[in-house]
Amino acid sequence: MLSRILAGHLEPDYGQVLLEGRRVASARPGRPAPLQYAPQSPELAVDRRWTVRKILAKGTAPDPAVLAALGIRGICASRVPDQLSGGELARVLFARLFHPG
């Protein structure tokens, strides 16, 4: 539960959570959280209707160097999670954890 609070997916029941002196804000569309949540079951972490392109764009543009290091360049951006192997989907989700800034 703490990891979901730190990633901005949940609000604490009481008090506040600070990261580097700032309150951890709720996740907002188009804005990456300062910490990312990495679930162990990648197939449960995405909307199965979303394309790889939309999954990767959630929050911020992915770093091309990270995509290359994870071997994601070869994964077609128009595919949906059901069209990926478990390892491919895990790498796509892992790429979301790293963003510039």
- The number of folded domains in the chain is 2
pTM above 0.85?
A: no
**Confidence at 82, pLDDT banded by 50, 70, 90:** very high
86's CB contacts (< 8 A; 6+ apart) are: 42, 43
Mean pLDDT of 72-78: 80
The pLDDT confidence band at residue 31, using thresholds 50, 70 and 90, is: low
Same domain? For 58 and 88 the reply is yes
Q: Same domain for 55 and 98?
A: yes
Residue-level pLDDT at 80? 94
Query: Could you tell me which residue, 29 or 40, shows the higher pLDDT?
Result: 40
63, 51: one domain: yes
Residue 101 in this model has a pLDDT that exceeds 60: no
Q: 63 with 93, same domain?
A: yes
Residues 29 and 8 in one domain: yes
- Percent pLDDT > 90 in the chain is 12
What's the domain range around 64? 39-101
